[in-house]
């Protein structure tokens, strides 16, 4: 009877994470479609805890392992125009060495130009689909009205226009999102990251500081209300820089002719730009003192935050406020901007992302969410994007970041990203011929041009012009919140 009773008590202590729960991971193994093979081992680290209510089921820092399940490379481009890659993570190991099997499916590669299919396969881009190559197609069509322009035709296609690498390549440190395909039972785990709580005495002083910070930033010149202020950092400039650097973020470049040209090339040639400048937003008529971003291989997507140093201090330490949003796509013909980015609607996701990233590095002393009565739960930024929030401010107190936890070094040898120069040259000629055969005709060009116009008009008309004042973001938007100090529910 006693063993059965103990078994029953043990079962009662187990918690079940439902299917669909998400796991945010960072690769520690480099993978790529050119050199990875089916069956090769792949590993990653969990960068945000999986929680159910107040119970942590899988703590941050746990290791996920699996294998490369499928590989399709472009090679010379004779058989395939695009690459694909499958990753199957089926086991998790807790920081204490225990673990269990679990069933997952890849849902997203963070800030990647590739997309993830419904079955979890990563689908690569077509190298001849870039804006640069398509634009050159119209130039080549015009040139080829005369036969003697054939040489110029080849030069434009081959020598002048740079096309994106079609093979898939993710170095260690690339971030992905998995979703459970089956529920799992687990004992609640202790938080693996030791972060202190803010004392009640400190809370009184912090209330005064938070009461004096503005709710949002404004555009320069037109003074339109824009991003919401959703983060507060306590620490010196050096501590802020050290924490973001350890978390894999990069500081943006100042806007200049060179940076603009570099950005235009990144858009046209479909690749990332780790230092891409941000548009200027003002808080109390001041420009940002720092701007940080995290991206991969697609300039259309990035995590980013602008930071302003405040005149107030807390416990004798500097205070910084930040407006964090995530770019998810391009947007055209927006108010005040011909070309800009579209942001993710639920800005709490970006707030929580940054808090978890910094906490994961061990560069924080305390991380908490702070209620802000009267803070907008629903608003629009300066270009018309809807922003929803739970009206809470993430408070992050930093340390000197003397021994940060890093995951970008990887736990395996790097794989080759692509073939040699000769192979890539031959592949480009083959893919160009294939593309011209399929798409270099008036029917395709007309369809493509019409589709671009229709999509642009449709996106422009989708700008929200009616706002429901009774809207509750937790009811209609995938929502993540800290359920208690430092514990965030990422079960979206």
pLDDT in tens, 33-63: 999 999 999 999 999 999 887 788 999 999 9
| Full-model pTM | 0.81
The pLDDT confidence band at residue 308, using thresholds 50, 70 and 90, is very high
Residue written as token pair 């395709």: 444
Same domain as 333, residue 204: yes
Distance linking the first and last C-alpha atoms of the chain: 41
Same domain as 207, residue 97: no
Specify the pLDDT at position 270: 81
The pLDDT confidence band at residue 141, using thresholds 50, 70 and 90, is low
- 36 within domain boundaries: yes
Q: DSSP per residue over 109-132, as a string? A: ETT-SSEE-TTS-EEPPPGGGSHH
Same domain as 181, residue 219: no
Cβ within 8 Å of residue 142, ≥6 positions away: none
Let me know: does 392 contact 405? Beta carbons within 8 Å.
no
Least confident of 102-111, 408-417, 444-453, 476-485: 476-485
Specify the pLDDT at position 330: 84
Choice between 216 and 140, residue whose per-residue pLDDT is larger: 216
Mean pLDDT within 279-290 = 94
pLDDT greater than 50 at residue 10: no
Same domain as 268, residue 221: yes
Give the torsion sign (CA, 228, 234, 239, 242): negative
Beta bridge partners of 99: 93
Specify the pLDDT at position 156: 53
The DSSP secondary-structure symbol of 253 reads P
pLDDT greater than 70 at residue 221: yes
By the 10 Å C-beta count (0-12 exposed, 13-18 middle, 19+ buried), 338 is classed as: exposed
Q: DSSP per residue over 182-247, as a string? A: S-EEE--B--SS--PPPPHHHHHHHHHHHHTS-SEEEETTT--EEEE--EEEES-HHHHHHHHHHT
Tell me the C-alpha distance between 178 and 184, whole Å.
Answer: 14
Choice between 291 and 434, residue whose per-residue pLDDT is larger: 291
Least confident of 173-182, 325-334, 450-459: 450-459
Specify the pLDDT at position 160: 53
Choice between 484 and 250, residue whose per-residue pLDDT is larger: 250
Same domain as 364, residue 284: yes
Q: Residue 89's domain is classified under what CATH number?
A: 2.40.128.260
Secondary structure string (H, E, C) spanning 423-479: HHHHHHHHHHHHHHHHHCCHHHHHHHHHHHHHHHHHHHHCCCCCCCCCCCHHHHCCC
Tell me the C-alpha distance between 440 and 249, whole Å.
Answer: 41
Same domain as 151, residue 93: no
Specify the pLDDT at position 219: 93
Residue written as token pair 């690459």: 83
Let me know: does 225 contact 97? Beta carbons within 8 Å.
no
Residue from 263, 68, 104, 240 nearest 181 by CA: 104
- 216 within domain boundaries: yes
> And the tokens for 364?
């924080």
Same domain as 222, residue 94: no
Specify the pLDDT at position 414: 76
pLDDT greater than 50 at residue 11: no
pLDDT greater than 50 at residue 220: yes
Give the torsion sign (CA, 40, 48, 294, 403): negative
Residue from 161, 138, 147, 148 nearest 441 by CA: 138
Highest mean pLDDT among 56-65, 256-265, 267-276 belongs to 56-65
Same domain as 469, residue 383: yes
Tell me the C-alpha distance between 421 and 426, whole Å.
Answer: 9
In the chain, the percentage of residues whose pLDDT exceeds 70 is 80
Q: Give the CA radius of gyration of the chain.
A: 25
Residue written as token pair 């858009």: 267
Q: Tens of pLDDT along 418-476?
A: 989 889 888 888 888 787 777 777 787 788 778 878 877 776 666 544 344 333 433 33
The pLDDT confidence band at residue 265, using thresholds 50, 70 and 90, is confident
- 9 within domain boundaries: no
The DSSP secondary-structure symbol of 283 reads B
Mean pLDDT within 255-270 = 81
- 6 within domain boundaries: no
Specify the pLDDT at position 272: 85
Tell me the C-alpha distance between 71 and 168, whole Å.
Answer: 10
Q: Supply the mean pLDDT for the chain.
A: 82
- 434 within domain boundaries: no
Specify the pLDDT at position 465: 45
Residue from 181, 242, 194 nearest 95 by CA: 194
Let me know: does 221 contact 285? Beta carbons within 8 Å.
no
Choice between 12 and 449, residue whose per-residue pLDDT is larger: 449
Least confident of 112-116, 129-133, 297-301, 388-392: 129-133
Same domain as 281, residue 241: yes
Q: Which domain holds residue 183?
A: 14-125+172-190
Specify the pLDDT at position 490: 35
337 φ, ψ to 5°? -140, 130
Choice between 99 and 492, residue whose per-residue pLDDT is larger: 99
Specify the pLDDT at position 260: 82
The pLDDT confidence band at residue 257, using thresholds 50, 70 and 90, is confident
Half-sphere exposure of 424 (CA within 13 A, CB side): 15
- 453 within domain boundaries: no
The pLDDT confidence band at residue 150, using thresholds 50, 70 and 90, is low
Same domain as 89, residue 21: yes
Q: Tens of pLDDT along 231-243?
A: 999 999 999 999 9
Domain count, the chain: 3
- 455 within domain boundaries: no
Same domain as 108, residue 158: no
Same domain as 210, residue 148: no
Specify the pLDDT at position 452: 77
Domain stops at, among 140, 155, 190: 190
Cβ within 8 Å of residue 219, ≥6 positions away: 226, 279, 280, 281, 282, 336, 382
């Amino acid at each position: 009877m006693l063993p059965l009773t103990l078994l029953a008590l043990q079962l009662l202590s187990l918690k079940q994470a439902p299917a669909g729960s998400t796991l945010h991971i960072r690769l520690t193994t480099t993978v790529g479609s050119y050199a990875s093979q089916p069956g090769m081992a792949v590993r990653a680290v969990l960068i945000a805890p999986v929680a159910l209510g107040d119970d942590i089921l899988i703590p941050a820092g746990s290791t996920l392992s699996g294998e490369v399940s499928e590989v399709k490379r472009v090679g010379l481009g004779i058989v395939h125009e695009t690459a694909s890659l499958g990753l199957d993570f089926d086991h998790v190991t807790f920081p204490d060495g225990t673990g269990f099997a679990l069933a997952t499916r890849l849902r997203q590669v963070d800030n990647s130009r590739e997309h993830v299919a419904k079955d979890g396969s990563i689908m690569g881009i077509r190298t001849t689909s870039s804006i640069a190559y398509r634009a050159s197609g119209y130039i080549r069509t015009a040139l080829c009205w005369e036969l003697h322009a054939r040489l110029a035709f080849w030069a434009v296609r081959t020598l002048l226009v740079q096309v994106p690498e079609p093979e898939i390549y993710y170095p260690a440190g690339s971030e992905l999102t998995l979703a459970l395909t089956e529920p799992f039972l687990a004992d609640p785990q202790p938080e693996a990251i030791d972060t202190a709580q803010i004392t009640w005495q400190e809370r009184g002083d912090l209330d005064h500081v938070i009461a004096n910070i503005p709710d949002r930033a404004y555009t320069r010149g037109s003074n339109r209300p824009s991003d919401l202020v959703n983060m507060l950092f306590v620490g010196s400039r050096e501590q802020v820089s050290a924490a973001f650097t350890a978390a894999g973020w990069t500081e943006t470049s100042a806007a200049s002719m060179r940076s603009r040209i570099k950005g235009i090339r990144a858009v046209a040639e479909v690749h990332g730009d780790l230092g891409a400048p941000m548009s200027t937003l003002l808080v109390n008529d001041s420009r940002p003192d720092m701007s940080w971003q995290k991206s991969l291989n697609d300039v259309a997507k990035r995590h980013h935050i602008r930071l302003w140093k405040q005149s107030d201090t807390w416990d004798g330490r500097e205070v910084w406020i930040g407006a964090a949003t995530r770019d998810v796509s391009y947007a055209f013909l927006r108010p005040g901007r011909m070309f800009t980015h579209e942001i993710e609607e639920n800005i709490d996701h970006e707030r929580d992302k940054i808090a978890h990233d910094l906490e994961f590095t061990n560069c924080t002393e305390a991380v908490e969410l702070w209620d802000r009565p009267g803070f907008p739960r629903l608003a629009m930024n300066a270009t018309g994007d809807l922003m929803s929030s739970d009206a809470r401010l993430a408070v992050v107190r930093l340390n000197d970041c003397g021994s940060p936890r890093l995951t970008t070094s990887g736990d395996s040898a790097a794989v080759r990203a692509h073939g040699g120069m000769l192979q890539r040259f031959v592949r480009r000629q083959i893919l160009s011929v294939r593309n011209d055969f399929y798409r270099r005709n008036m029917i395709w060009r007309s369809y493509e041009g019409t589709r671009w116009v229709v999509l642009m008009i449709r996106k422009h008309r989708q700008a929200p012009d009616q706002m429901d004042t009774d809207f509750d973001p937790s009811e209609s938007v995938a929502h993540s919140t800290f359920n208690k100090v430092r514990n965030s529910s990422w079960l979206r």
